[in-house]
Amino acid sequence: DTGVSQDPRHKITKRGQNVTFRCDPISEHNRLYWYRQTLGQGPEFLTYFQNEAQLEKSRLLSDRFSAERPKGSFSTLEIQRTEQGDSAMYLCASSLDRQGIADTQYFGPGTRLTVL
**Which listed residue (55, 78, 81, 116) binds another protein by CB under 8 A?**
55
**Which listed residue (24, 29, 33, 75) binds another protein by CB under 8 A?**
33
Q: Which range binds another protein by CB under 8 A, 11-19, 27-35, 63-71, 76-84?
A: 27-35
Using only the alpha carbons of the chain, give its radius of gyration. Answer: 14
Distance CA 94, CA 29 (A): 6
**Which residues is 78 bridged to in the sheet?**
20, 66
50 binds another protein (CB under 8 A): yes
Three-state SS at 94: strand
52 binds another protein (CB under 8 A): no
Yes or no: say if 32 and 49 are a contact pair by the CB < 8 Å rule: yes
Which residues lie near another protein (CB under 8 A)? 31, 33, 35, 40-45, 48, 50, 55-56, 58, 91, 93, 97, 100-102, 104-110
